[in-house]
Structure 1
């Protein structure tokens, strides 16, 4: 006879530190036009796409390379480093998680400027670390004094920062690297749109890990290709923490094709994203809004009752990401940039949504 099992809220053998770790759930229902995740809305590079379609079956039936050595060589050439300074992963999230596991002792501090990437406190808790968030300054630069005062084992910064789009000053980054007692993680997921990077600094010091992705400018978000640059000893420990076979064979081959054959396409679409970002900002200013200056492929727009506007947008078939109560900003809407015809659709829906929420005549 089968004995029915009584559900339990928490297993006796579960780790207590996971009790307050939430699943990442942005609560996004499908819509006709999704401008929430800052990926490449022009699609993927042409040679990369052809490589994906023509990938031999043998690439799938066998394990991928241990540590993506061939891809490391191509990425090193792209960023101006050497392969021994590269580590790859299943998206930049994988790099961040593995790096926290590599350098964080149980209970040690992970400090981050806020607002920033929402997964940082979650990764910290997952790895048994103590997360400390420090509110950014009114000019959207990190409060370096307060961050350093936490004596962090790991100090996380993002440039351009998500969700504001602010570019961190080089002097701030250099000071953090110079004075931090532990490892500095610099997330450059949107660096291609800013046109500046601190990879050169990572080549000079032993405590800076610059984390990058091929999910944004390269249009490969679904394949999850992340990487980081740092001192050989630094990336080697991340690689130990990450383990082998973590980048699948399909992702590696498509990423290689993009780096070797599609850079003209990538650069052209980065330029288009920047042009359309500025054009969208002008259209929003014409409507009386004041988008924050952005160096990424999105805009952060201060907007009263942004959550309600976001819900109203969805009712009109369009999604943008609301952020309630951002420090020094208030409620805001983050809008990914793409082809202008999509942004025209967004603006029409935005006009209708704000009319719905604010009671204006559209």
Structure 2
């Protein structure tokens, strides 16, 4: 016997889900006007004045554009556009875009144009319709989905009974979106600044010294015949196994590591990972780089990863880590491949890698610190962006279902 879902006091079960008792559910055709777009093929022109609102434009949040020399289906600021056709399990079906200006956009075929009635807040309606579950249910997963006009119009929409509450909800979500956009812009700016700093700081100066990797560092990897099979990977344990798949933004994502038994960990002391080790993948996707900043538990390498340790004070490992992230190392890998795809980085080749470093370790450390500080700032912004996006999702879930009210 299936247990009925308990509905909290003050809420009701409807075709649009569980909502507050004072909310209403209306089909889209009662709260908005709908039109189908028109074909633009004969008017497409890269120098056109009008942005064609098509599936690609909507699915990329407006980043990918085509232009038309004629506006054959004008859209107004505040209109909602919706993708009506997509491949099986596609990401574009029912995705919406809110038009931002008058006399700038023209609606393409298989895209719907929706204009909210004066009693309905258009932004609220946009958030309700965007990838709405009602529309996504038309996707069978086996063939092209084409949502019909009447199916678009029959969508049940849950609404606060007052437009003021609708506007309060959409404003709160819009504010979250604005913060996300600002953080994304700031991240792009910081990444570009770092890119310029890397170029400037790692460009060799006249007094820099050339090093050859094999003469200035020790390279170690697990012997091929000692490599672990996936059957030996453990989900929990006391000894991490690094395979290369855990490399994330130049560091190790320890949460995604597998584990190994102690017998495998102790096989080779030379590949037991230490702080300041530089790791490079040598199989599969070669040349991925990671720096060991900390080792939360003892860790070892599988056969697809090199560990690099400088001999005495031949160079600063953190500085070398940034060299490996630069164009210098990319060019070296390209020369090895000679235009073809390679899936193995041999030690006999890697030891010939030549690079230049400042004369003193202190100067190398200073440069590395500047770049690490930039990395830390970028990482902080990335974490903040992730939190704001999660907050926005929670806010949308609560506000668009009436679990939390903004009257």
Q: Tell me whether the two structures share a fold, i.e. TM-score over 0.5.
A: no
TM-score of the superposed pair, with normalisation by structure 2? 0.26
TM-score of the superposed pair, with normalisation by structure 1? 0.28
Name the structure where helix makes up a greater proportion of residues: 1
Name the structure where strand makes up a greater proportion of residues: 2
